[in-house]
Amino acid sequence: MPIVNESLAFTQKKRRGWLLVLLLLIAVAAIAIFLLKGGPTERADEPAESPQSDEEAVLETPPVVAGTLLASSDSQQSQPEPSAAAGPAPAAAKPEPEVTMAVAPEPELPAVTSTPAADEPAPSATILPDVLDVAFSFSQDSWIEVYDATGAQLLYAMGRAGSTRNVSGEPPLRVFVGLVGAVEVRVGGEVFAIPAQRIRGNVARFVIEGRNPGNALAGETS
């Protein structure tokens, strides 16, 4: 019996040794498989994250570029323009030559010496007397009317044959005679000729301004 027990114990120990070896192998294989799977997985995950970082970088890049462009444009605008003194000054426009036209001298006119004219009587304006004395003599019956300068009636009557009517008034005097051939007019004692152009048939209408018959002018009596 002791021999059988010892063989059984040896067999059990041998089995336990193999089991330990098998467990170790399984553990080593599991670790190896874990390492093999874990390494590629991490490496595979890294490229998946890298595109995201690239996209974020691309999205963040435009503001930087825009800011750079704005900064560059501001710097260009802030740069002072080159002054005129920096470059060569443009040549001044040449003054146009003055064109002088020869003007012929005007001929000198001989000096006119005024000689005193002979004393000539200045034309005197017609001076009317303050009052005219007029006499009408009738060789036949004739109607007669006389008005002074103010329109006052001096004579308005029938002159009888052989009679004389005297009037005085402020000239000019307007006279109407109904039968011109039967009436003689005297101004200041002098005969006054009735203007022929103021006679129409037997009727005469005229104006007496003075003693001179030339001063007898046409006039309508009212």
Q: What is residue 159's predicted lDDT score, i.e. its pLDDT?
A: 96
pLDDT band of 110, cuts 50, 70, 90: low
Please give the pLDDT value at position 115. Answer: 57
Residue 34's pLDDT band (cuts 50, 70, 90): confident
pLDDT per residue as tens digits for the range 157-211: 999 999 999 999 999 999 999 999 999 999 999 999 999 999 999 999 999 997 6
- Average pLDDT along the chain: 73
pLDDT of 187: 96
Q: How far apart are CA 189 and CA 197, in angstroms?
A: 24
pLDDT at residue 12, as a whole number: 75
Q: What is the pLDDT of residue 38?
A: 66
Q: What is the pLDDT of residue 126?
A: 55
Provide the residue ranges of all domains of the chain, joining segments of one domain with +. Answer: 1-74, 132-215
Q: What is the pLDDT of residue 19?
A: 86
DSSP the chain: -HHHHHHHHHHHHHHHHHHHHHHHHHHHHHHHHHHHHHHHHHHHHHHHHHHHHHHHHHHHHHHHHHHHHHHHHHHHHHSPPPPTTTSPPPPPPPPPPP-PPP-PPPPPPPPPPPPPPP--PPPPP-PPPS-EEEEEEESS-EEEEEE-TT--EEEEEEEPTT-EEEEEESSSEEEEESSGGGEEEEETTEEEPPPGGGEETTEEEEEE-SSSGGG-B-----
**pLDDT per position as a tens digit, 59-98:** 455 444 444 444 455 545 555 454 444 455 555 556 565 6
